[in-house]
Structure 1
Amino acid sequence: MRKVKNKEKIYLPDPKFNDPLVTRFVNHLMKNGKKNVAYKIFYNAMKKIDLIKEREEKSALEIWKDGLKNVMPHVEVRTRRMGGSNIQVPVPISSNSKMTKAMKLLISCASIRKEKTMANKLASEIWDAFKEQGEAIKRKENIHKMAESNKAFSHFRF
């Protein structure tokens, strides 16, 4: 067999919210193996979201999950070499990859914001994603536009 299916990782639930998705997000947020620092950043961001939300009846965790769903891309563009030229082929993404891409988009867009701490940056980016604004939403739309413009090559899927 050429393509071997990867085993799906099982994430333990986090201590505060008891949600494995939070652990997965914190693993992406973590740098140099400092998981406690990453948990502190995430939990402080959740506290900031609790302070930011005005009349929302949702909890900070639900706002974060909705923000992730809003940022989640459904297609991506992969490069394929055909007859001496490179063609960008739109390909649908698996649900696991969608979630990973959404998490990485949120974290990377939060890190380039011009605010004081990473918790503030992350809280602002999550709130913007929840409201369907911000850099992460723009990047997602950019990915979808690239796939739409290369729709003619969709029959070259791998």
Structure 2
Amino acid sequence: MRKAKPKKRVIIPDPVFNDQMVAKFVNHLMYDGKKNTSYRIFYSALDTVKAKAQNEEKSPLEIWKQALDNITPQVEVKSRRIGGATFQVPTEIRADRKMSIAMKNLIAFARKRSGKSMAEKLAAEILDAFNNQGGAFKRKEDMHRMAEANRAFAHFRF
């Protein structure tokens, strides 16, 4: 790169749990700069998770973090053009990108769900991800399957 890398922005932790990961998730969830609405959706989703998973000994925040871990992909495929042919080359993902992909997938599949409010849809998707099912978990499995199928092209890694 010609220019210097841009500075990483410091993300202020959320007010309730004092956790930067929650703040990042809320930033991904937010539309049109409406952060308060986004926080309200997230916290009410965690309340719903708490109500539905009463027999769990974990707190709703721990359930959410475990759900994110369950849907975090380790490898992805990138298209690489070599000698007129395009290969799907499996590559490992950086740690910050892993979390970003997991959060975006969780939110995207929660939005696609049918349900009353976004908080209910998000809570349902969190519980599904916690139990290793649902759309976001399936997306991770598909990414891993695609990387495994194209393992022969791993030597084209860049």
1:132 and 1:87 map into 2 onto residues whose CA distance is 30
Q: 1:85-104 residue pairs with structure 2 within 5 A? A: 85-104=85-104
1:149 and 1:4 map into 2 onto residues whose CA distance is 37
2:9 and 2:101 map into 1 onto residues whose CA distance is 16
Q: 1:61-140 residue pairs with structure 2 within 5 A? A: 61-140=61-140
Displacement after TM superposition at 1:11 (Å): 1.2
What is the one-letter code of the residue matched to 1:77? V
1:151 and 1:125 map into 2 onto residues whose CA distance is 30
2:108 and 2:2 map into 1 onto residues whose CA distance is 33
What is the one-letter code of the residue matched to 1:93? I
Displacement after TM superposition at 1:85 (Å): 1.4
1:99 and 1:83 map into 2 onto residues whose CA distance is 34
C-alpha spacing 1:118/1:20, structure 2 compared with 1 (3 Å): same
What is the one-letter code of the residue matched to 1:53? A
The equivalent residue for 2:54 is 54
Task: Extract unaligned runs of 5+ from structure 1.
Answer: none
What is the one-letter code of the residue matched to 2:134? G
Identity of aligned residues (%): 56
1:57 and 1:5 map into 2 onto residues whose CA distance is 43
Aligned-residue RMSD, C-alpha: 1.3
TM-score of the superposed pair, with normalisation by structure 2: 0.96
1:9 and 1:146 map into 2 onto residues whose CA distance is 33
TM-score of the superposed pair, with normalisation by structure 1: 0.96
Displacement after TM superposition at 1:35 (Å): 0.6
Displacement after TM superposition at 1:108 (Å): 0.4
1:57 and 1:4 map into 2 onto residues whose CA distance is 47
Deviations 1:13-71 (A, max 9, x none): 10111111100000000011111110010011011001010310100000000000000
